[in-house]
Amino acid sequence: MFEKILIANRGEIAVRIMRTCRELGIKTVAVHSAADAHSLHVRTADESVDLGDGPASSTYLNTAAIIRAAKRTGCQAVHPGYGFLAESAEFAGAVTDAGLVFIGPSAHAIATMGEKVASRAVALAASVPLAPGSEGSIADPSAIIEFGDEHGYPALVKASYGGGGRGMRLVGSASEAVEAFGAAVREATAAFGNGEVYCERYLVNARHVEVQVFGDSHGDVVYLGDRDCSVQRRHQKLIEEAPAPGLSDEVRRSMGEAAVRLARQVHYVGAGTVEFLYEEGKFYFLEMNTRIQVEHPVTEAVTGLDLVALQLRVAAGQPLGITQESVRPEGAAIEVRVNAEDPSEGMFVPSPGLIATLEVPEAEGLRWDAGYQSGDEVLPLYDSLVGKLIAWGPTRDAAIQRLQSAMAQVQIEGIRTTIPAAQHILALDAFKSVDIGTTWLEDSVVLPDFSEDQGDEDARFDVEVAGRYYRIPTFPEDGVMAAPAGAAAPTADAEAGSARAGGRSGTRRRRSRASDGTVKAPMQGTIVKVNVEAGDDVTAGALLFVLEAMKMENPIKATHDGRIEAVHVSLGDSTPAGTLLASYVADGV
């Protein structure tokens, strides 16, 4: 086993890896940006190395600097965590070439399964069912239209490299192809350094079910059960559970065996997750994540295994030490991701800031994996995940009840979080009866305005998005903003369904508000698209800018018809909250 390892990551996953290392007597080295110098993962590590100032591209994504840090501190191995360089074949290869051990699969396996088009070919060779998809990467929006004409809509444009919902856009019709293609390429380039995308048929009512696999260098591969991750916003998971409820024993076994065949096809070593779309008793390969997953704790909770310990064991060349027959999941576990976001009415607006108080109950069957403590600051530079609250119970109903009780006792002050949304979702009959799919949260659930219970009703105003009204935070001088990506308007049927499920009917009328002729940044971020210039005529709802904050793209739209007088920012500008983006003369004002 290793004496010392470097963890090439930050936040919750870095702290979680350090916990297992401490139990195994392994020393840890943290790397960090200058902005992260006082963060929890730095305080938890035995040593730390400052990678300098600047964005993630020059710190957490700086392969050369990370390898220098590992060698200088005497590490034998590097654990990538998830995100950042975790699924970079180039990084894995560079670590190995430097004489260090990469705690993960081979560069070949990462490259093959991380490139979505290549991974589909592997799935075909392994006789794993596939949904219709493009033959290879696509070069322009016309390919999306051709695909839609052949296979129907909706279609999904996806990054060929990477995952986690980045570089993914839903296309409902041919008219949406140009904007979806541009947004997917732009986001994929920013997140993974590669803007290649491909197209896939989108299954409207599918659930997201995934299988945890593990392989060792001695040829053994097993699956450790399945998880359901269907509760998502913007293609990013909010609630995960194990095992996936409502599957027949035959489907569960077939899905697990298919995942193992896929892993064997690329001689997979380490932890991996094979993701499927499940609909009407059938499953289809989606992608393989060649890393530890955010939701791995629910698998640990039902199997009693430490997946990080298994990663370290396998990376050290030791046998996995478990057989398929010995894996016997018991009970049920549910995980809620606690993100620094305001989930009011499905907006999920990033909410960075100083955490004044963070207190989580401790009890049997509960687990809290966090990257922050009271007094820490959630920076707008990185992912919004604060921590994960996991509850285990002998049954799914017991796990839900335990998790609800725990969330009611959590105290977080200083930032808004997604806990109120999770509480609301877990109480819905549709969730309890597993009448859900990957679009259920955004299309069929109308989340309340949680701020009303916190006495700041007057600090919000309404905007219209795709024919539906949302209440959003105001900013200095009443800056104007539209809903972030993913806050799509539900259909009339979905509205009615969500009302029956306990959500709001969405019939509230917009309050009148005069325009002050300005468009301001609703939060700190980076301008990644400028869609207007001085002299342009715009209509209400027209896209003006796209602001990237906390790894999310937030479209900023006009709330009135009018003419742009001046644009005050450029592509790539970093903007504090309240920054003047544009001024315009609104018609009739």
Give the per-residue pLDDT at 465: 38
The whole-chain average pLDDT of the chain stands at 88
Give the per-residue pLDDT at 484: 37
- Output the DSSP codes for 137-205: -B-SHHHHHHHHHHH-S-EEEEESB--TTTTEEEE-SGGGHHHHHHHHHHHHHHHHS---EEEEE--TT
pLDDT at 499 over 70: no
Give the per-residue pLDDT at 480: 36
Lowest mean pLDDT among 1-15, 254-268, 391-405, 525-539: 525-539
Give the per-residue pLDDT at 62: 97
Q: For residue range 294-346, what is the model confidence (pLDDT) as tens digits? A: 999 999 999 999 999 999 999 999 999 999 999 999 999 999 999 999 999 88
Average of per-residue pLDDT across 548-560: 81
CATH number 1.20.1260.10 given to 207-444: no
pLDDT at 511 over 50: no
Give the per-residue pLDDT at 11: 97
User: Does the reported pTM lie above 0.95?
Assistant: no
Average of per-residue pLDDT across 356-364: 97
Give 289's strand partners: 273
Give the per-residue pLDDT at 61: 96
CATH superfamily membership of 132-201? ATP-grasp fold, A domain (3.30.1490.20)
pLDDT at 353 over 80: yes
Cα separation, 402 vs 510, whole angstroms = 38
Average of per-residue pLDDT across 168-183: 94
Cα separation, 356 vs 378, whole angstroms = 11
Average of per-residue pLDDT across 2-9: 98
In this structure, what DSSP letter does residue 18 have? H
- Do residues 447 and 345 touch, judged by C-beta distance below 8 A? yes
Which tokens sit at 437? 């799919």
Biggest alpha carbon distance in the chain?
74
Which tokens sit at 568? 């005050």
Reported as a pLDDT band with limits 50, 70 and 90, residue 164 is low
Extended beta strands in 243-352, E state: 270-279, 282-289, 332-339, 341-342, 349-350
Q: How many CB atoms lie within 10 A of CB 178?
A: 15
Reported as a pLDDT band with limits 50, 70 and 90, residue 493 is very low
Q: Between 3.40.50.720, 3.40.50.2000, 3.10.180.10, 3.40.50.20, what CATH number should domain 4-103 receive?
A: 3.40.50.20
CATH number 3.40.190.10 given to 458-586: no
Long-range contacts formed by 498-502: CB under 8 A, 24+ apart: 498/444, 498/445, 498/446, 499/446, 501/428, 501/429, 501/430, 501/444, 501/445, 502/424, 502/427, 502/428, 502/429
Give the per-residue pLDDT at 193: 80
pLDDT at 588 over 70: no
Give the per-residue pLDDT at 490: 33
Percent above pLDDT 70 for the chain: 88
pLDDT at 12 over 90: yes
Average of per-residue pLDDT across 276-296: 95
Q: For residue range 370-416, what is the model confidence (pLDDT) as tens digits? A: 999 999 999 988 999 999 999 999 999 999 999 999 999 999 999 99
Give the per-residue pLDDT at 329: 97
pLDDT at 516 over 90: no
Reported residue count of the chain is 589
Reported as a pLDDT band with limits 50, 70 and 90, residue 187 is confident
pLDDT at 7 over 70: yes
Give the per-residue pLDDT at 204: 79
In this structure, what DSSP letter does residue 458 have? G
Give the per-residue pLDDT at 396: 98
Domain range annotation of the chain:
4-103, 132-201, 207-444, 458-586
| Of residues 231, 244, 174, 253, the one with CA closest to residue 427 | 231
Reported as a pLDDT band with limits 50, 70 and 90, residue 550 is confident
Q: Which of 17-26, 475-484, 511-520, 522-531 has the highest mean pLDDT?
A: 17-26
Reported as a pLDDT band with limits 50, 70 and 90, residue 575 is confident
pLDDT at 568 over 70: yes
Give the per-residue pLDDT at 589: 54
Buried residues in 366-376 as b, exposed as e (16+ CB within 10 A):
bbbbbbbeeeb
Q: For residue range 21-78, what is the model confidence (pLDDT) as tens digits? A: 999 999 999 999 999 999 999 999 999 999 999 889 899 999 999 999 999 999 999 9
